[in-house]
Structure 1
Amino acid sequence: MSSLNPTLITFLLYIVAMIAIGLMAYRATDNFSDYILGGRRLGSFVTALSAGASDMSGWLLMGLPGAIFLSGLSEMWIAIGLIIGAWANWFLVAGRLRIHTEIQNNALTLPDYFSNRFNDHKKVLRIISAIVILIFFAIYCASGMVAGARLFESMFEMSYSTALWISALATISYVFIGGFLAVSWTDTIQATLMIFALLLTPIVTILSLGDTAQIAHALETARPHATSLFSNLSFIAILSLLAWGLGYFGQPHILVRFMAADSVKSIPNARRIGMTWMILCLGGAVAAGFFGIAFFQEHPELAGTVTKNPETVFMELTKILFNPWIAGIVLAGILAAVMSTLSCQLLVCSSTLTEDFYKAFIRKNASQLELVWIGRLMVLMVSVLAIFLASNPDSKVLGLVAYAWAGFGAAFGPLIILSLFWKRMTLSGAIAGMIIGAVVVILWKNVFAATGVYEIIPGFVCSFITIIIVSLITKAPSQDVLDRFDEADRIYQKSK
């Protein structure tokens, strides 16, 4: 343990810095809008890196390198699908959603936006969308808890349960204190740490291996098909990996970043910054897993932990190859990835419970201060649930993320797209599409998983078709709904 003291010190300094930022954000939080959307005043740089960091969770530094280490470059189709989906989300959704949510009575949450967009006076859509958010975010938050626990467990030789609580408390503290501003400011720092870690680690791994011939021989010996993009993959398998990109259109923790931008004019620059950051990070994650195959083939005496759990490949390379002080900084990148996504997810759950349940049904006239403190209480409640779901030490990060990602993508993706592009869409269509998308994902995951088709594909397609059919056979929206849509679309077109 003594050899890891520098790493421990680095970790502690990092956590203290995040909490300090939370305290700074606390001083800048005056009302509930500040707590959950930062008062809609994020610039393009913070918007871009915050959206990226909240998207790329511990999965980026654990799940993806682990998948590449186990199967080779054939798993890279996930990264390709994500890049395409993220770009489309920035290009098609970001600016429009920023305008539409403001026109729709300054909606602060997705359920709030849906309710206002379709004049849902009975609040059925608000309730259903809030329930979907809570179900799938509970699973998603659990994946973050697992990733954080794995990091502390591996680094400091503590039990899984102890590691789970420590990593969770590190994140909960600054979300509880500072809300959205704390999450966004820390995301910017965390995104910087992540790209530093993901670019540095594969470079050092390559340098440690020697010449290219030696690397090629080690790869061929360990995984004969590691360099093939199509090894052991059917058309269905490739399509399922690419389909991860569909999930972007429905991820509340990413969409809320678009809603918080200071202006729609910030979006194009944010898109360029965000996509550059994302491509570099995904490339680094793929490279770490890929060259990790060669490294542990050359050093089998060091491969025990990675053989047992491939998702630790990035951590093990860092611990082995770097000076403990540098290792602490690089591994803080993993903690940054975990904390950035988990913090945003906790905040979205908190805002949903506060805005869409507490304020909508229990205390309609609650003061801003009361809502902020209820929001903080909700952060604690959701955290406890996520810790409970993550308590199984055999949980896999990638599996948990895949399920939640599909759930959001299918339930909200078609709804978001059509609500921004098709004014004829109706309340009944929105409700039916959301329910069908979520139900199909759950059924497919538990009944038809043997088909090998990623559940987001049938869920997304069924939801999209359902919304169109039900909207066409039900009464057209009121003139008020159509006028607000036209106003938002006119403002967006003018601002381009």
Structure 2
Amino acid sequence: MPDLPIPTLATFAVYLAGMLAIGIICYRNTNTISDFILGGRRLNSLTAALSAHASDSSGWLLLGLTGWAYTSGLDALWMIVGLAIGIYLSWKFVAARLRTYTEQAGDALTISSYFEHRFEDDSRVLRVVSAIIILIFYTLYVSSGLVAGGLLFGEVFGIEFVTAVAVSAIVIVAYTFIGGFLAVSYTDVVQGLLMVLALVAVPLIGLYAVGGFDALFSGIEAKEPALLTLGRQTGYDAATGAWSAGGAFGLVSIVSSMAWGLGYFGQPHILARFMGIRSAAQIKSARRIGMTWVIVSMLGALLVGLVGIVFFEQPLGDPEKVFVNLTEAVLNPWIGGIMLAAVLAAIMSTADSQLLVVSSVLTEDLYRTLVNSKASDAQLVWIGRLLIVATAIVAFVLALQGGSVLGLVGYAWAGFGAAFGPLILISLYWKGVTRHGALAGIVSGAAMVVLWKQIGTPFGLYEMVPAFVLSAVLVPVVSLMTQTTLPSAAATARIDGFEAVEG
């Protein structure tokens, strides 16, 4: 192992100690299963917004998106636009209604329990099926975070991959185990602020280093003019370090890139922030804070990738390390350590949320529902903690298989977006959804994602698109065919009063 960079090591140590301290403080306020899963529904608008989007962004923002911008140039904008639209619409059309309904519907703590209450599913099939889907895709999602952590520690400290992934897993599990939802949410605020600071400072300093925007664009054009053409595909060969122009970035590619925005309607860790905010009245201010953070951060990530194209005379063998490499090159080790801690923040802020959701599902939707309905809050909280450890171990094993951070995230993102997104949207606006329609939407969305991926993503179309469309069609079609199983008026009456609480 090479000599460890002391300034960076010290910065990381202080950062990690701070995250653990927050976990310990939150431990004192985590007494019930509601506290552990949703923080007692007492997040303010700032905490809810930054936690929602820090937990959403993960390593794909600082590693995946920056790497895509490095290899594809301005065509990374299609994903950014799609994500921004999806974020806004999810805050606008889902957040307030879901917050209000889940509290009134038996204080539903998870998306699975929301489905059970909304559709009066006494069979509990909806709850169990949705819980299984969450377990499958979140285990993949957590593994992507551990891969990203492995890349970071390996690059910065020269630690071999297995050890680096293990270090990432231990750190993330520690404070999530201790403090539950409140620890996750409050650490996300710190992590979110650190991430946006890094995504403003690093690209601007890098831009100055290459000579400003004129020098940046002329330098990119010298490498490959297609990188600056919105709507023109660009290929990158890591072996030779050369970019090459392809054909037009056609409709399928544009739709696939922008379809990432559809995922926001069905991500359980984001929906949990909507459910955990103090009141629906705080949704509007949370939406404004969240949108500001997201737009600034994603544009910063795009600029990091573009600056990297010009700054590095020797093209990168691994484009997903462009942020790390640029940070080490343009900043002194102490400041660079803070910026690199932002990558760790991005990884941790998502992995901790995902571990908590998996633990919540196993504890609330499976253990208490199917095994021990009389378990005390103290028992459930400790079971939840132990299941966090178990999930992390499984994700660790999967992470050792390696893979692209963005590729792993994209698969899990599509799984949740297609399985739950259409049903969440439709069920909050239309009383006519039946439990059969709900089940058809969930199963078809998840199954199509897996099938589309397994047959090699035909036409290059992102699996989110056909799966989301299929689910969105089957929810109303099957519901209309099974109107004899409509939920009672009591279960749907709340929908009439939603307009009064929407931001």
TM range (shorter): over 0.9
For structure 2, the 5+ residue unaligned runs are 234-248
- For 1:344, the equivalent position in structure 2 comes to 353
Q: Secondary structure at the match of 2:151?
A: helix
CA distance in structure 1 between the partners assigned to 2:95 and 2:484 by the alignment? 26
- For 2:393, the equivalent position in structure 1 comes to 384
CA distance in structure 2 between the partners assigned to 1:311 and 1:203 by the alignment? 19
TM-score (norm 2): 0.95
- For 1:485, the equivalent position in structure 2 comes to 492
Q: Secondary structure at the match of 2:228?
A: coil
Paired amino acid for 1:397: V
Displacement of 1:487 in angstroms is 2.4
CA distance in structure 1 between the partners assigned to 2:212 and 2:483 by the alignment? 69
- For 2:240, the equivalent position in structure 1 comes to none
- For 2:41, the equivalent position in structure 1 comes to 40
Paired amino acid for 2:396: I
- What is the percent sequence identity of the aligned residues? 48
Deviations 1:395-449 (A, max 9, x none): 1100001100111010000110011011110000000111111111111111141
1:454 and 2:470 aligned: no
CA distance in structure 2 between the partners assigned to 1:125 and 1:409 by the alignment? 17
1:356 and 2:342 aligned: no
CA distance in structure 2 between the partners assigned to 1:187 and 1:197 by the alignment? 15
For structure 1, the 5+ residue unaligned runs are none
CA distance in structure 2 between the partners assigned to 1:414 and 1:491 by the alignment? 19
Paired amino acid for 2:20: I
Deviations 1:342-377 (A, max 9, x none): 000000000000001100011100000000000001
CA distance in structure 2 between the partners assigned to 1:491 and 1:147 by the alignment? 40
4+ aligned runs moved over 6 Å, structure 1: none
Alignment of 1:245-394 (within 5 A): 245-296=261-312, 299-300=313-314, 303=315, 307-393=316-402
CA distance in structure 2 between the partners assigned to 1:337 and 1:211 by the alignment? 27
Q: Secondary structure at the match of 2:428?
A: helix
CA distance in structure 1 between the partners assigned to 2:44 and 2:182 by the alignment? 12
Paired amino acid for 2:27: Y
CA distance in structure 2 between the partners assigned to 1:353 and 1:70 by the alignment? 40
Q: Secondary structure at the match of 2:462?
A: coil
TM-score (norm 1): 0.96
CA contact (8 A) 1:103 1:488 kept: no
Deviations 1:274-304 (A, max 9, x none): 00000000010000001111111xx32xx4x
Q: Secondary structure at the match of 1:141?
A: helix
CA distance in structure 2 between the partners assigned to 1:487 and 1:220 by the alignment? 57
Displacement of 1:3 in angstroms is 6.9
1:423 and 2:431 aligned: yes
Q: Secondary structure at the match of 1:120?
A: coil
Paired amino acid for 2:33: F
CA contact (8 A) 2:415 2:449 kept: yes
Paired amino acid for 1:314: F
- For 1:11, the equivalent position in structure 2 comes to 12
CA distance in structure 1 between the partners assigned to 2:162 and 2:501 by the alignment? 54
CA distance in structure 2 between the partners assigned to 1:2 and 1:199 by the alignment? 30
- For 1:218, the equivalent position in structure 2 comes to 219
CA distance in structure 2 between the partners assigned to 1:163 and 1:212 by the alignment? 37
Paired amino acid for 1:57: S
Displacement of 1:311 in angstroms is 0.1
Displacement of 1:478 in angstroms is 4.8
Alignment of 1:126-137 (within 5 A): 126-137=127-138
CA distance in structure 2 between the partners assigned to 1:332 and 1:442 by the alignment? 34
Q: Secondary structure at the match of 2:277?
A: coil
Paired amino acid for 2:82: G
Paired amino acid for 1:129: S
CA contact (8 A) 1:100 1:485 kept: no
Displacement of 1:488 in angstroms is 4.6
Paired amino acid for 1:383: A
CA distance in structure 2 between the partners assigned to 1:473 and 1:495 by the alignment? 31
CA contact (8 A) 1:197 1:333 kept: yes
Displacement of 1:476 in angstroms is 4.0
Report the aligned-residue RMSD. 1.3
CA distance in structure 2 between the partners assigned to 1:196 and 1:144 by the alignment? 21
Which deviates the most, 199-208 or 219-228? 219-228
Deviations 1:145-198 (A, max 9, x none): 111110000000010000000011111100000000000000000000000000
1:173 and 2:174 aligned: yes
Q: How many residues align?
A: 487
CA distance in structure 2 between the partners assigned to 1:495 and 1:57 by the alignment? 28
CA contact (8 A) 2:139 2:391 kept: yes
1:238 and 2:254 aligned: yes
Cα distance, 1:421–1:342 mapped onto 2, change above 3 Å: same
